[in-house]
Amino acid sequence: DIVMTQSPDSLAVSLGERATINCKSSRSVLYSSNNKNYLAWFQQKPGQSPKLLIYWASTRESGVPDRFSGSGSGTDFTLTISSLQAEDVAIYYCQQYFSTWTFGQGTKVEIK
């Protein structure tokens, strides 16, 4: 099974500052035949179901603010919130869907 490891486990960022979350997979999730990374990012606010933010590692879901961006390829990925807003306080999960499905352990984002 592919293991997904996120870092850090939590971070506190000032409003308007950048937040960066890393996700590393135990093996590549890049499918060579279509050059797509089978990697998604989800946001889960307290008391709510998760919400899809990014898929194909860098494709923003419809309606997601453009301050959210995804990057990376192969085994190393990053979710960036360019200017943190109060409503972005949440836990963020990466998930690979290259070989079955596995989630990272989550990264809690708070306001400093």
Return the residue of 61, 69, 71, 82 that touches other proteins, per CB under 8 A.
61
Q: By CB under 8 A, what part of segment 62-91 binds other proteins?
A: 91
**Residue 93 engages other proteins in binding (rule: CB under 8 A):** yes
Return the residue of 15, 45, 80, 101 that touches other proteins, per CB under 8 A.
101
Residues in contact with other proteins, counted by CB under 8 A, come to a total of: 25
Q: What are phi and psi of 67, to 5 degrees?
A: -75, -15
Q: Closer CB to other proteins, residue 52 or residue 82?
A: 52
The tokens for 59 are 């494709």
Task: Give CA–CA dist 22/72, Å, rounded.
Answer: 9
Question: Looking at the chain, how many residues does it have?
Answer: 112
Match 């293991």 to its residue by tokens.
3
Q: Closer CB to other proteins, residue 58 or residue 75?
A: 58
Task: Give CA–CA dist 12/20, Å, rounded.
Answer: 11
Return the residue of 3, 7, 8, 56 that touches other proteins, per CB under 8 A.
56
